[in-house]
């Protein structure tokens, strides 16, 4: 159930506040019908989380169409007009470049970039934040961006690198398909970080937008000879700290 400051949600159903059939409405319906209690400091705080979830999904779909290449870190690449490639294959924002412009370039010029799936998740989050809060606010708060899986996360998004169990899983959650018997010759297939699109499909960089069963089938093709365990979706998720982000940008 959804409560506001510990009390009943005002003015009827939370889901009815949002466009019928839209992602925000569907997320609100999941929270509203849950046996778990979801308390928000204000209706505006709920609006922020659901808007950010909507844009996380939109950013994931945009990234899937961007031409962003898949590459292990030793072969990563980036547009040097905006980013400096580090010795370990990450990307550091070039001095004097607006963070929002550098992130947008990945979506517009994806073929100039190549990286692995965890770094792609960071790009999705940054793209979503820009869509919700705008370029100016993003640039003020997110200077000095570095991109490299979960090792160089901005403090604002630190929680997205931590997988935890939740009572409910929602569209825009980061999920993980594990491949416990991966072939050691192809360690990049040890698992797939994905964004839940909310319709039974997931976006994972390197596999694209697929259903859960399709992602499992892709991972299973990269198991070691004699493997006995199949790939599976972990019962956990990574999520931003929506309260922290709301406080940063409100």
> Tokens in use for 33?
């019908």
Note the pLDDT tens digit of each residue in 45-90: 999 999 999 999 999 999 999 999 999 999 999 999 999 999 999 9
Average pLDDT, the chain: 96
Is there a contact between 209 and 64 (Cβ–Cβ < 8 Å)? Answer: yes
Note the pLDDT tens digit of each residue in 110-147: 999 999 999 999 999 999 999 999 999 999 999 889 99
pLDDT at 150: 87
Provide the residue ranges of all domains of the chain, joining segments of one domain with +. 45-162+240-249, 174-233
CA 8 from chain center: how many Å? 30
Query: pLDDT-derived band of residue 149, with 50, 70 and 90 as boundaries?
Result: confident
Note the pLDDT tens digit of each residue in 153-197: 888 999 999 999 999 999 999 999 999 999 999 999 999 999 999
CA dihedral 63, 204, 86, 113 (to 10 degrees): -40
Residue with tokens 């547009």: 79
pLDDT at 247: 95
For the whole prediction, is pTM greater than 0.85?
A: yes
Taking 90 as the threshold, does the pLDDT of residue 8 lie above it?
no
């Amino acid at each position: 159930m959804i409560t506001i400051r510990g009390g009943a949600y005002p003015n009827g159903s939370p889901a009815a506040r949002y466009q019928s059939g839209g992602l925000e409405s569907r997320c609100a319906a999941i929270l509203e019908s849950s046996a778990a209690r979801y308390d928000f400091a204000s209706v505006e705080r709920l609006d922020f989380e659901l808007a950010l979830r909507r844009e996380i999904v939109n950013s994931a779909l945009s990234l899937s169409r961007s031409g962003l290449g898949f590459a292990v870190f030793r072969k990563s690449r980036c547009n040097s007009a905006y980013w400096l490639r580090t010795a370990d294959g990450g990307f550091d924002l070039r001095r004097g470049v607006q963070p929002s412009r550098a992130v947008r370039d990945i979506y517009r010029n994806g073929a100039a970039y190549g990286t692995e799936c965890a770094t792609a998740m960071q790009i999705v989050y940054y793209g979503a934040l820009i869509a919700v809060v705008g370029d100016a606010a993003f640039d003020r708060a997110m200077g000095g961006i570095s991109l490299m899986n979960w090792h160089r996360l901005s403090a604002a998004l630190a929680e997205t690198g931590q997988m935890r169990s939740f009572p409910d899983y929602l569209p825009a959650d980061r999920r993980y398909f594990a491949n416990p018997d991966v072939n050691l010759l192809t360690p990049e297939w040890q698992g797939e970080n994905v964004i839940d699109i909310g319709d039974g499909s997931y976006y994972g960089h390197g596999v694209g937008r697929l259903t859960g069963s399709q992602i499992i089938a892709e991972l299973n093709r990269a198991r070691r000879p004699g493997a006995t365990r199949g790939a599976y979706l972990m019962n956990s998720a990574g999520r931003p700290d929506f309260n922290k982000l709301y406080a940063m940008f409100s």
